[in-house]
A and B are shown apart, each in its own frame.
Chain A
Amino acid sequence: AQTVTQSQPEMSVQEAETVTLSCTYDTSESDYYLFWYKQPPSRQMILVIRQEAYKQQNATENRFSVNFQKAAKSFSLKISDSQLGDAAMYFCAFTGTASKLTFGTGTRLQVTL
C-alpha cells in the first residue's frame, strides 16, 4: 500500500519570504502522480500543483514549485514570495494505478507580517 508522510505539522513564514514544505512517499509503482492541495479555513480542497512521475522536470505554478526526487521518493513544495492568503493547511497526495488519492496528514502554514 502507498503511504504519504508529511513530517512538519506546522510551519511559519514571514510575508514575502520563501518556505518549503516536505513530503515523502512510499510506493512500488513506477507511474504515478503527486499533488499538493491547499485547504483554507473554508475547507475547500484546492489543487496547488501536480507532478507526473515520468516527467523529470519539476512542476511550477507561479509562486509554487516542487522539488521532485523520484529515487528518494521525496516531493517538497516551495512557496516563494509568501502572501497572507497562502496561510492554510497543505496536503501532499499520491495516486497510482489504483486511482485512489492517498493523503498525508497535512502541514499547517502560518504567514506572519
Chain B
Amino acid sequence: SQTIHQWPATLVQPVGSPLSLECTVEGTSNPNLYWYRQAAGRGLQLLFYSVGIGQISSEVPQNLSASRPQDRQFILSSKKLLLSDSGFYLCAWSVDLGGYTFGSGTRLTVV
C-alpha cells in the first residue's frame, strides 16, 4: 500500500538557522510531489511541486527551496530562516488528478 512519511513532526528553530524537512513516499513510482504551507487559521498555500526527479516548480517567491534527489523523496530547505517562515508544512503526493494524499505535517516555529 502507498504511504507517505514526513518528519519531523515539530521543530523549533532560531532565526537565521538552516532548515531541512523531508518527505518520502512508499508504494508508488514517479509520483507528483507537493509542499504546502498553512499559516495559523489560514488555508493551504502551494509552495513547490515536482513531476519528476530534479524537476521543481516554485509557486511563490520566498526564502525556501525544494529538491527531489530521488523519485520518492522531496526535501524543503532554507539557508536562513525568517520569523515569517513559521507555519505548518504539509507534503503531499499524487499519481493522477483524482487522488492526493497528505503527510501528517511539520509544525515549524521560528524564534
The residues of B that contact A45 with a CB separation of less than 8 Å are 44, 90, 92, 102
| A45-B36 Cα distance, complex, nearest whole Å | 12
| Interface 0/1 of B79-90, CB less than 8 Å to A | 000000000101
Interface assignment of B73: CB less than 8 Å from any CB of chain A: no
Partner of A101, one of B34, B88, B104, B107: B34
A contacts with B, residue count (CB < 8 A): 22
Q: Annotate A96-112 by CB proximity to B: 1 below 8 A, 0 otherwise.
A: 11011111111000000
Of the residues B34, B46, B98, contact of A52 by C-beta under 8 Å: B98
Q: What separation, in Å, do the CA atoms of A91 and B38 have in the docked complex?
A: 12
B19 CB-CB contact with A under 8 Å: no
- Chain A residues within CB distance 8 Å of chain B: 32-33, 35, 42-45, 47, 50, 52, 91, 95-97, 99-106
